[in-house]
């Protein structure tokens, strides 16, 4: 699991704990879950899943961008070192 997945897992664990603490011991009666409430709950859960997917996709882009920047800095450092080595050891002149 990456850092964002761990954070989201922790968030959902705390959410479930809070939800469980707020429920009556016998649970929610089926007649309390009206079609309107069920529809709103389904919509909210869908939004939550979409938000999670968006976060994970964004984090993937973030990690790739970090790698790109790191690779470009490494390339620049390598070229700088190669240029210094070339200037320290000039190629022999042709006779």
| pLDDT 10s digits, 24-73 | 877 777 777 889 999 999 999 999 999 999 999 999 999 999 999 999 99
| Length in residues, the chain | 95
pLDDT attached to residue 55: 95
Does the pLDDT of residue 90 top 70, yes or no? no
CA distances from 31 to 21, 37, 38, 41, 43 (A): 21, 11, 11, 15, 19
pTM of this prediction?
A: 0.68
Check residue 50 and give its pLDDT. 97
Q: Over 70: is that where the pLDDT of 89 sits?
A: no
Identify the band that residue 85 occupies on the pLDDT scale cut at 50, 70 and 90: confident
């Amino acid at each position: 699991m990456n850092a964002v997945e761990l954070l989201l897992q922790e968030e959902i664990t705390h959410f479930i704990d809070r939800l469980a603490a707020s429920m009556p011991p016998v649970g929610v009666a089926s007649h309390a879950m009206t079609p309107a409430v069920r529809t709103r709950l389904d919509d909210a859960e869908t939004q939550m899943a979409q938000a999670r997917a968006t976060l994970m996709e964004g984090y993937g882009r973030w990690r790739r961008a970090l790698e790109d920047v790191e690779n470009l800095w490494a390339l620049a450092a390598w070229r700088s070192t190669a240029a210094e080595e070339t200037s320290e050891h000039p190629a022999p002149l042709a006779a």
